[in-house]
Copies of this chain bind each other. A is one copy, B any other.
């Protein structure tokens, strides 16, 4: 029998959204004003830090961001000298992006902020609990993708 009552506080999608927003906000507070970076900008930088020399489109694939958001973030990051763009000569639509020296420095500054936050979130998790959570979370992701 289907339960016909909806309790927001127990409703998984709602809880996910609550937690996710809070976490993103808290982390962003750690770098937004200090480096005047927006969240989409930081995401693009994170993608390039992890895998340099990829195109804007590959950033889209990698981060699941909207391509307009990527385009705008790239523009701003270029203006601010945090990334560099090199046009490909075999396909002149494409260009390949990398962190600039100053961008890489910022990236290195932010990583510990991000990782520390993650560690604090998981502070009182045993290794087993981490693994459990990870596995169950992946299962959720797969279920969602299958819809």
Q: Which A residues are within 8 Å of any B CB, using their own CB?
A: 2-8, 11-24, 26-27, 43, 46-47, 49-50, 62-64, 111-112, 114-125, 129, 132-133, 136-137, 139-141, 143-145, 147
Contacts and interface: CB of A to CB of B under 8 A. Distances in A.
A83 B141 CA distance: 35
A42 B23 CA distance: 23
A5 B114 CA distance: 10
A137 B63 contact: no
Contact of A23 (B3, B4, B16, B22): B16
A120 B136 contact: no
A6 B27 CA distance: 14
Given A13-B27, A13-B121, A132-B132, 20 more contacts: A3-B115, A4-B111, A4-B112, A6-B46, A6-B50, A8-B47, A8-B50, A11-B118, A12-B122, A13-B117, A16-B16, A17-B24, A19-B20, A22-B144, A23-B144, A26-B144, A121-B144, A121-B147, A129-B139, A136-B136
